Chain A
Amino acid sequence: MTVADQQLSEYRRREQSITLSQVEQSGEDTHEELLTLNFGPHHPATHGVLRLLVTLQGEVVRSIKPVIGYVHTGIEKTAEDKAYWKAIPVVERMDYLSYYFNSMAYVGAVETLLEVEVPKRAQYLRVIHLELNRIASHLIWLGTSALDLGAVSIFLYCLRERELILDLFEMSSGARMHTRYFQVGGVMEDIPVGFVEKTREFTKVMPARADQYGAILNANQIVLQRLRGTCPLDAETLLSLGVTGPLLRAAGNPWDLRKAAPYSSYDDFDFKIPVGTVGDNYDRFAVRVAEIYESVKIIDQALDGLPEGPHITTDRKIALPPRHELATSMEALIHHFKLVTEGFRVPPGEIYYPIESPRGELACFVRSDGSSKPARVHMRDPSFVNLQALSHMAEGSYIADMIATLAMLDPILGGIDR
Chain B
Amino acid sequence: MPDATGLELLAKELQESEGMGAEAILGTLYFRGHATLEAQPQRIRAVLGRLRERGYRSLMSVHGVDYYPHEPRLGVHYELLDMDKVDRVTVVVRVSTDAPDLDSVTPDGEDGKGWPTADHQEREIYDMFGVAFHGHPDMRRILMPEDYEGHPQRRDFPVGGEPVIFTYNEHESSGVTR
Residues of A at the B interface (CB closer than 8 Å) are 68-69, 72, 74, 76-78, 80-81, 112-113, 115, 239-244, 253, 255, 260-261, 349-352, 354, 361, 363, 365, 367, 375-376, 378, 380, 384-385, 387-388, 417-418
Contacts and interface: CB of A to CB of B under 8 A. Distances in A.
Contacts of A375: 155
B32 A242 contact: no
16 contacts: A68-B142, A76-B153, A77-B153, A77-B157, A80-B159, A81-B159, A240-B115, A242-B115, A253-B83, A349-B32, A350-B65, A363-B60, A365-B65, A376-B65, A380-B79, A417-B143
A353 to B, nearest CB: 9
| A-B interface, 5 closest residue pairs, ranked by CB to CB distance from nearest | A242-B117, A69-B143, A380-B61, A72-B143, A378-B63
A77 B144 contact: no
Nearest to B115: A240
A364 to B, nearest CB: 10
Nearest to B90: A352
Interface residues of B, number: 39
A261 B115 contact: no
Contacts of A376: 65-66
B142 A363 contact: no
B152 interface: yes
B119 A388 contact: yes
Given A69-B145, A72-B144, A77-B152, A261 B86 contact: yes
Contact of A78 (B66, B118, B120, B159): B159
Contacts of B121: 384-385
Nearest to A354: B60
Contacts of B117: 240-243, 385, 388
B58 interface: yes
B63 A365 contact: yes
A200 B119 CA distance: 45
B59 interface: yes
A349 B36 CA distance: 12
A255 B116 contact: no
Contacts of B57: 239
Interface string B68-92: 0000000001010001001010100
A77 to B, nearest CB: 6
Contact of A240 (B61, B116, B159, B161): B116
Contacts of B60: 242, 244, 354, 361, 363, 380
B159 A352 contact: no
A69 B143 CA distance: 4
B43 interface: no
A418 B120 CA distance: 14
Nearest to B127: A69
B31 interface: yes
A260 B142 contact: no
B34 interface: yes
B112 to A, nearest CB: 13
Contacts of A113: 32
Given A77-B157, A380-B79, A417-B143, 12 more contacts: A69-B143, A78-B159, A242-B116, A242-B118, A261-B86, A349-B31, A349-B32, A352-B88, A363-B60, A380-B60, A385-B117, A418-B143
A255 B116 CA distance: 19
Nearest to B83: A255
B2 to A, nearest CB: 14
Given A261-B86, A352-B90, A385-B121, A77 B159 contact: yes
Interface string B142-164: 11110000001101010101000
A387 B121 CA distance: 11
Contacts of B32: 112-113, 115, 349, 351
Nearest to A384: B120
A244 to B, nearest CB: 8
